């Protein structure tokens, strides 16, 4: 396993997940009103490391197969953990959480299978996935923070963006499945159609 700064940042993102989750299990008397802000800030720091580790890996030519595997795993763990907390707090609808988490599992399995059959380029990341990720990475800290901030309706912004993220999530899942469909059909029938 290679260890460099980009991979260390990815590991840091994974290590921050218990922090984001853990603050919601502290007694209210201990958090004195800073719980939501701390969780939102931790999520923002983790999201920034997501961008930074990829940028550094490309800039310093430190990309690796392990880093390419670990980075999306860290992202999915972080988003799924935050969604489960938000679901428990009643700040996100269960259908939205199901769509986002279900898509992550489905596309991860699809990418693994496509890689096994040598067709991973069919399900390479595209612009739709990037917009979906951006909407999620802004919506989730807004929903974690929940309170108005400097007159901005953070709760409303987060709610709208998580709905947008769920729509983009479903759309991107359909797009990836459509791209993989010829390979899936060929494997199911035993030959090209």
- Structural domains in the chain, CATH included, are 5-189 (1.20.120.1760)
pLDDT single digits (tens) 39-80: 999 999 999 998 899 889 889 998 888 888 888 899 999 999
Using pLDDT thresholds of 50, 70 and 90, give the confidence band for residue 1. Answer: low
pLDDT mean over 16-43: 89
3-state SS record for 76-95: HHHHHHHHHHHHHHCCCCHH
Other residues' Cβ atoms within 10 Å of the Cβ of residue 48: 13
For residues 46 and 20, is the Cβ–Cβ distance under 8 A? yes
Give the predicted TM-score (pTM) of the model.
Answer: 0.87
Q: Which pair of tokens denotes residue 16?
A: 């921050």
pLDDT single digits (tens) 104-146: 999 888 888 888 877 776 666 778 888 999 999 999 999 999 9
Provide the sign of the torsion angle of the four alpha carbons 79, 18, 52, 57, taken in this order.
Answer: negative
Reply yes or no on whether the pLDDT at 192 is more than 60. no
Question: Which residue from 123, 129, 96, 94 is spatially nearest to 110, judged by alpha carbons?
Answer: 123
pLDDT single digits (tens) 83-93: 999 999 999 99
Buried b vs exposed e over 160-193: b needs ≥16 C-beta within 10 Å? ebbebbbebbeebbebbeebbeebbeeeeeeeee
Reply yes or no on whether the pLDDT at 95 is more than 90. yes
CA 61, CA 30: separation in Å to the nearest integer? 44
Using pLDDT thresholds of 50, 70 and 90, give the confidence band for residue 162. Answer: very high
**The predicted structure's pLDDT at residue 191:** 60
């Amino acid at each position: 396993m290679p260890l460099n700064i980009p991979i260390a940042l990815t590991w840091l993102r994974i290590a921050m997940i218990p922090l984001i989750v853990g603050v919601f299990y502290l007694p209210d008397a201990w958090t004195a009103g800073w719980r939501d802000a701390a969780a939102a800030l931790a999520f923002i720091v983790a999201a920034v490391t997501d961008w930074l580790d990829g940028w550094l890996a490309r800039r310093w030519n430190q990309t690796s197969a392990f880093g390419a595997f670990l980075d999306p795993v860290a992202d999915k763990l972080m988003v799924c953990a935050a969604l489960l907390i938000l679901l428990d707090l009643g700040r996100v609808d269960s259908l939205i959480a199901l769509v986002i988490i279900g898509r992550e599992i489905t596309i991860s399995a699809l990418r693994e299978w496509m890689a096994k059959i040598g067709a991973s380029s069919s399900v390479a990341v595209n612009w739709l996935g990037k917009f979906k990720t951006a909407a999620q990475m802004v919506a989730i800290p807004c929903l974690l923070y929940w309170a108005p901030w400097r007159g901005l309706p953070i709760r409303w912004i987060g709610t709208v963006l998580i709905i947008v993220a769920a729509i983009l999530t479903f759309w991107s899942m359909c797009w990836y499945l459509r791209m993989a469909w010829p390979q899936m059909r060929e494997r199911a029938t035993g030959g090209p159609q």
